[in-house]
Amino acid sequence: MKKILNFPVPFLKAYPLVWIAVFVVLVVADLSTKKVITESLNFGLSATQRMQAGVFTNQGQPAEIDETNYVPIWGEQGKYIRLRLVFNDRFLFGSGPSAPVLGIFLTAGAIIFLFFYRWMTYGAGHPVAWLFVFSGAMGNLIDKLFVKSLETREWVFSFGPREGHVSGVVDFVECIWFGLDQFRDVFLLKWLAWETWPIFNLADSLIVVGIVILIITIGFAPEEKTESDSGAGN
Quickly list DSSP for 132-173: HHHHHHHHHHHHHTEEEETTT--EEE-SS--TTEE-SEEEEE
Compute the 3-state secondary structure of the chain and give helix, strand, coil in percent, each to the nearest 5: 50, 15, 35
Of 61-65, 76-80, 181-185, 186-190, least confident by mean pLDDT is 61-65
Residues of the chain with pLDDT > 90: what percent?
Answer: 52
Would you place residue 196 in the very low, low, confident or very high pLDDT band (cuts 50, 70, 90)? confident
Residue 199's φ and ψ, nearest 5 degrees, are: -60, 135
Between 117 and 96, the more confident residue is 117
Q: Contact at 8 Å (CB) between 99 and 90?
A: yes
SS3 (DSSP) at 214: helix
What is the spatial distance between Cα 132 and Cα 141, in angstroms, rounded to a whole number? 14
pLDDT at 158 exceeding the cut of 60: yes
Over residues 47-96, the pLDDT tens digits come to: 888 887 877 555 444 535 555 578 899 988 888 999 999 999 887 766 66
Question: Do the beta carbons of residue 139 and residue 202 sit within 8 Å?
Answer: yes
Domain range summary for the chain, segments of one domain joined by +: 32-220
- Whole-number average pLDDT of the chain: 85
Q: Could you tell me the pLDDT band of residue 110, with boundaries at 50, 70 and 90? A: very high
Confidence (pLDDT) at 227: 43
> Are the C-beta atoms of residues 114 and 198 closer than 8 Å to each other?
no
Express as a percent the part of the chain with pLDDT over 70: 83
pTM: 0.84
Task: Give the active site residues.
Answer: 171, 204
| Model confidence band, residue 210 (pLDDT cutoffs 50, 70, 90) | very high
Taking the C-alpha atoms of residue 211 and residue 102, their distance in angstroms, rounded to an integer, is 23
Q: Which of the residue ranges 5-14, 46-55, 59-68, 212-221 would you say has the lowest mean pLDDT?
A: 59-68
pLDDT of residue 193: 85
Compute the distance between CA of residue 227 and CA of residue 117 in angstroms, rounded to an integer: 27
- In the DSSP assignment, the letter for residue 66 is -
Helices then strands (H, E): number in the chain?
7, 7
Predicted local distance difference test score (pLDDT) of residue 187: 84
